[in-house]
Structure 1
Amino acid sequence: MHVAETLARSLQRAECQYDLVEHDHSATSLESARKAGVPASRMAKPIILDDRRGHYLMAVVPANRQLDLGKVHKGPWRWQLTSEQSLGGLFRDCERGAVPALGEAYGMGMLIDPALARQADIYLEAGDHESLVHLSIDEFFKLAPNAQLCELSV
């Protein structure tokens, strides 16, 4: 199992209680949930947005839901989906496509869908395609104290 260095430091700094869950190789958050045997509604799926001017934002929704980009309002920026090529530079310690749903640790703002925040506990990618971090929602918010709750999904 591999936990991204940035995520590991954040977990340690916040003194979070968490478990690591191994699963067969997966390509998406929804597939990770299925292969790990966890409810997709408790799997945090990060979507990285940018404003074409160097500002980034992470929207986090349950893996079984889709982001409604029209619901993303934060500041004067017009947000768009970030290109796959840009993600490697933002998440250097993660395998491509295995980004932890923890934007604050990577220097970006976060919006979290209330459907995810209502869960008692959640799972997020650990930085590779075979590991998840499992923690209570209270522990998660210790890692993202500045995140805003916002209806984001359909």
Structure 2
Amino acid sequence: MPISKKILDHLDKNKIKYEILKHKTVYTAYDLANTLKKKLSEIAKTLVVKADQSYYLIVVPAHYRLDLGKLKKILQAKKIEIAKENVMAKIFKVKPGAITPFGTIHKVGVVIDQALAKTQKVIMGAGSFTESLHLKIKDFLKLENPTKASIGKKFTSEVISKPKPKMAKKRKVTVRKSGCGCGASPKKRK
């Protein structure tokens, strides 16, 4: 599924320079980084959050985990939660994993982590599992005017590395001596 014409028109109308990156089908920011051979810090991960009765698009580097406590304070919300998958399909008209960070299109607020806001260029999802957008972060900030805050926490290297294959459990093996069980030594076979 290609990038939505609505998104490309939105970028063109606002004179935002971008590059469309075609790649194999990916469903996560981690897989996108591996596929494109890019650092996780160059990939934007977009999440949908419900704060009280409003929805927000949250944009963090791929190697960050969202801190809901920090976000709750920033948004001054009483209740905050990651939106359910059916909400993404119903409200944002996209499948989970294909959400875009363009709040102006979806008419919702955007919050971006300061770490991502400091990068030069970023690769972000654009409603497609086979194409992504590569653009200058300053252009995204100008277009979306998001709230910038420290809302994420960097994964430790153990968390973002590939899981180690499971090893078979060692079993205790009992070795029985052949023979009749009477204590006599077994006969040797020739």
TM surpasses 0.5: yes
User: 1:20 and 2:20 equivalent?
Assistant: yes
Q: Secondary structure at the match of 1:31?
A: helix
* Partner SS state of residue 65, structure 2: coil
Any gaps of 5 or more consecutive residues in structure 2?
Answer: 154-190
Which TM-score applies when normalising by structure 1?
0.90
Question: 2:89 — aligned with what?
Answer: 88
SS of residue paired to 1:9: helix
Q: Percent identity?
A: 25
- Please state if 1:118 is matched with 2:118: yes
Q: Match of 2:9?
A: 9
Contact 1:10–1:143 at 8 Å: present in 2 too?
A: no
Residue matched to 1:71: 70
Structure 1 residue 141 displacement after superposition: 1.3
Is the partner of 2:132 in helix, strand or coil? strand
Compute the displacement of 1:142 (Å).
Answer: 2.5
What is the CA–CA distance in structure 2 between the aligned matches of 1:19 and 1:77, rounded to whole Å? 39
SS of 1:66's equivalent?
Answer: strand
The alpha-carbon deviation at position 79 of structure 1 amounts to 1.6
Q: Give 1:18 shift.
A: 0.5
CA distance in 2, matches of 1:12, 1:95: 24
**Partner AA of 2:57 in structure 1:** M
Greater relative contact order, per chain length (Cα 8 Å cut-off, separation 6+): 1
Q: CA deviation at 1:10?
A: 1.8
Count of aligned pairs: 151
Q: Which has the larger radius of gyration?
A: 2
C-alpha separation between the residues in 2 aligned to 1:37 and 1:126?
Answer: 19
CA distance in 1, matches of 2:152, 2:65: 5
* SS of equivalent residue, structure 2 residue 139: helix
Q: How far has the Cα of 1:7 moved from its partner? A: 1.6
Return the alpha-carbon distance in structure 2 between the equivalents of residues 106 and 84 of structure 1. Answer: 16
* 1:56 corresponds to: 55
> 3-state DSSP class of the match of 1:47?
strand
Partner of residue 99, structure 1: 99
The alpha-carbon deviation at position 3 of structure 1 amounts to 1.2
Cα distance in structure 2, aligned partners of 1:3 and 1:16:
15
User: Could you say which residue in structure 2 is the equivalent of 1:46?
Assistant: 46
Look up the match of 2:138: 138
Q: Secondary structure at the match of 1:140?
A: helix
Root mean square deviation of aligned Cα = 1.6
Return 5+ residue gaps in structure 1 as ranges: none
Q: Secondary structure of 1:38's partner?
A: coil
Give 1:108's aligned residue: 108
* Aligned mates of 1:98, 1:12 — CA distance in 2: 20
User: How far, CA to CA, are the matches of 1:19 and 1:68 in structure 2?
Assistant: 30
